[in-house]
Amino acid sequence: MENILKEITGVFDGEKMIVSDGCSIIVPRNYASKSMLLVGTELIYRVTDKGSYFKQTNVPESMTAIGTVIKDCGELKIEIKHDGLMYKMLFLKSSETFYRLKEGDEVVVRYPEKLSLYDNNWCVIEAKI
């Protein structure tokens, strides 16, 4: 049986877990990628006498779309259409390497149901078509 030494709760922002006091904890890219973490996912970072790990506690509603890999300001992004508008989505760079993405590729993505017109939006790549 492991003893819990500390638990910290927060929300995944696409790269790290933001906690209530404004501090952040980096979420390992391999965990975020394998778990297909969506922005807005509530997490617990648990430190025990046997190690530490993240646990998902609440996952936001999501949608799936087919997107196209584009180059925008020198970096690859995924362009999708949502509610009649085009969005340029950020994604984990480990997916770029894993899927060997290049401009023009089509991908299946999952993203939070609520998108921002002003902030960066993140998606999770589920497959390359």
Q: How confident is the model at residue 88 (pLDDT cuts 50, 70, 90)?
A: very high
CATH classification number, 4-58, choose in 2.40.50, 1.10.20, 3.30.465, 2.60.40: 2.40.50
Average pLDDT over residues 40-46: 96
Q: How confident is the model at residue 89 (pLDDT cuts 50, 70, 90)?
A: very high
Q: What is the mean pLDDT of the chain?
A: 93
Q: How confident is the model at residue 94 (pLDDT cuts 50, 70, 90)?
A: confident
Which residues, listed in sequence order, are joined to residue 75 by a DSSP beta bridge?
Answer: 72
B/e letters for 23-62, b = 16+ CB within 10 Å, e = fewer, are: eeeebeeeebbebebbbbbebebbeeeeeeebeeeeeeeb
CATH classification number, 62-128, choose in 3.50.50.60, 1.10.3720.10, 3.90.1150.10, 2.40.50.140: 2.40.50.140
The ranges assigned to domains in the chain are 4-58, 62-128
Round to whole Å and give the CA distance between 129 and 64. 14
pLDDT exceeding 90 applies to what percent of the chain? 78
Round to whole Å and give the CA distance between 11 and 95. 21
Average pLDDT over residues 17-38: 92
Residue type, 8: I
